[in-house]
Structure 1
Amino acid sequence: MKDDRSTDLKPEVRAYLERIGYSGPLDGSAAALAGLQEAHLHAVPYENLDILRGIPLSLDVPKLYDKIVVRRRGGYCFELNALFGWLLRELGYAVTDYMARFWRDEPDPPPKRRHHVLSVEAEGALWLCDVGVGGIVPRRPVRIAEGIEQQQGDECYRLERDEYFGWMLCERKHGGWSRLYSFTEEPQLPKDYIMATYWCENAPDSIFTREAMIAIRTADGRNTVVGREFRIFAGDGVQTFVPQTETEYRDALKRYFGIELE
């Protein structure tokens, strides 16, 4: 296990850790990795607002850093996992980028490869890390090993092997197991995501161009937006509302997601 590096960090890394509210150990352990992922999911929202506003996305780390850390915005998988992967590398983790197929709610399986996930080495094991999904996904890393049921609060996940699609992340729902997403162990370069994100931003049948999709985990549950409807999940209840004016909409974005649109 590595020594704690908290006293020897770049200013950009310190600012990123402050952005996600993480003040735990930085010793390269699996526990620290889990803390970083969970903190990220509670601080940085998943959102596609720039796509809806016609603002081209950049996957260059300096521009992602400006958007997510400096301007305190969110993003979607190709943005969030690219920058989170950069943070983990800066903290000394070995990170490999993969492309994934998102199966949940897929109307026409098999799905396209349009999701970015990370494999991270810690304490001699490989862990699946992902901070780039708007729906309910693992809040902590999932060990990349076949058939192990991994409980996370009231959620449970396991990885299976598929002869064609590779690793298949499954979630337990209603007493059974459902496919969430799959990935093969083919390392990807940053440029390998350019075509996929271009399709997501511009294709007529891309789900990201239809309506707002915003989500963030909270201490009590999660906050989401679908279209114009805000849904605030806390405990066993949910509050829903639709802002009636643009000012109310922007105020709600700030209150529930910390998003301030330029």
Structure 2
Amino acid sequence: MIHTSEQCDVAAYLNRIGYEGPLEPTLEVLKELQRLHVHAVPYENLDILAGIPLSLSVPELYHKIVTAGRGGYCFELNALFGWLLEQAGYEVTNYFGRFWKDEPVTPAKRRHHILHVVIDGKRYITDVGVGGAGPREPLELIEDAPQTQGDECYRLSKSAAYGWMLYEQKGEDWNPVFSFTEEPNLPEDFLTTSYWCEHAPDSPFNKTARVSIRTAEGRNTIDDREFRIYTKQGVHVFHPSSKQEYTEALARYFGIRLTGELPWLE
């Protein structure tokens, strides 16, 4: 359904993520917008599993994420977040990337959307579409400098083959998250890959539920039918025994309220 008659209201978007400060293109505002966004808007692929075609147009994304209170995956979340940043006065460039996290071999396809902004002459990447374990704040685009965010640490390195590579520290190891090159992309450049993610037989997005959101205590995730609630005390794992329990858990832990059929549970 096209929602072109619905006004894309910046104030309503800010209310959706809980931001109450001034909207100006500064680093501190960007940090707060990203931090609040990943705590309020879930990463999720449930429309893909339900066979509902995705749209990357801003009015459609606004209706889904702001009006309907849903989430999305990187092509949806970063497209709308990029629009918000542009409304705030940021200089935004769209980058295409390969997603390496938990991949046993080199990813064969670029299937991640990253946003690049320039603030006071310094360059940053900002991303609200990684999922519950992604960076909670922007990262300065500088080479091989550890950047700490709470109890997490990241660094960016240059790769001759894949451009910039983002790593996250796990113990003594640095594990790749995603890579990207600095070629600017138009919003339309992501349509073909998003369609592949929805429909291709070898796409990882149309097989099982993938849902995640950051919380004050840690993060909440769904992997297939398994819910994992991470807190400072540990991980609570459970499997809803019915569709009703599943939808109630979706609403409780992710703010996602679904009605109708849930075909991935059949």
Contact 2:144–2:155 (CA under 8 A) maintained in structure 1: yes
**DSSP-derived class of the 1:128 partner:** strand
Mapped partners of 1:260, 1:246: distance in 2: 13
1:250 to 236, 247, 252: 247
Mapped partners of 1:110, 1:83: distance in 2: 25
Partner in structure 1 of residue 91 of structure 2: 94
Mapped partners of 1:73, 1:193: distance in 2: 21
1:150 to 141, 147, 163: 147
Mapped partners of 1:158, 1:151: distance in 2: 9
Deviates more, 1:88-97 or 1:21-30: 21-30
Percent identity at matched positions? 58
Q: CA RMSD in A?
A: 1.2
Q: Where in structure 1 do 4 or more consecutive aligned residues deviate above 6 Å?
A: none
Contact 2:95–2:113 (CA under 8 A) maintained in structure 1: yes
Mapped partners of 2:238, 2:161: distance in 1: 43
Mapped partners of 2:213, 2:21: distance in 1: 21
Contact 1:102–1:111 (CA under 8 A) maintained in structure 2: no
Partner in structure 1 of residue 4 of structure 2: none
Stretches of structure 2 lacking an aligned partner (at least 5 in a row): 1-6, 260-266
Partner in structure 2 of residue 205 of structure 1: 202
| Shift in CA distance, 13/177, structure 1 to aligned 2, threshold 3 Å | same
1:180 to 177, 182, 186: 177
1:162 aligned partner, one-letter code: S
Contact 1:24–1:35 (CA under 8 A) maintained in structure 2: no
**DSSP-derived class of the 1:207 partner:** coil
Partner in structure 2 of residue 3 of structure 1: none
How far did 1:236 drift? 3.4
Contact 2:16–2:40 (CA under 8 A) maintained in structure 1: yes
How far did 1:128 drift? 0.6
Partner in structure 2 of residue 127 of structure 1: 124
2:118 aligned partner, one-letter code: E
Partner in structure 2 of residue 28 of structure 1: 25
Partner in structure 1 of residue 136 of structure 2: 139
Q: Within 5 Å, which residues of 2 pair with 1:1-262? A: 12-262=9-259
Mapped partners of 2:251, 2:189: distance in 1: 33
1:195 aligned partner, one-letter code: T
1:115 aligned partner, one-letter code: H
Mapped partners of 1:92, 1:111: distance in 2: 35
Contact 1:46–1:214 (CA under 8 A) maintained in structure 2: yes
TM-score (norm 2): 0.92
| Shift in CA distance, 162/240, structure 1 to aligned 2, threshold 3 Å | same
TM-score (norm 1): 0.94
2:207 aligned partner, one-letter code: R
Give aligned pairs, total: 253
Partner in structure 1 of residue 3 of structure 2: none
Mapped partners of 1:236, 1:140: distance in 2: 24
Contact 2:19–2:36 (CA under 8 A) maintained in structure 1: yes
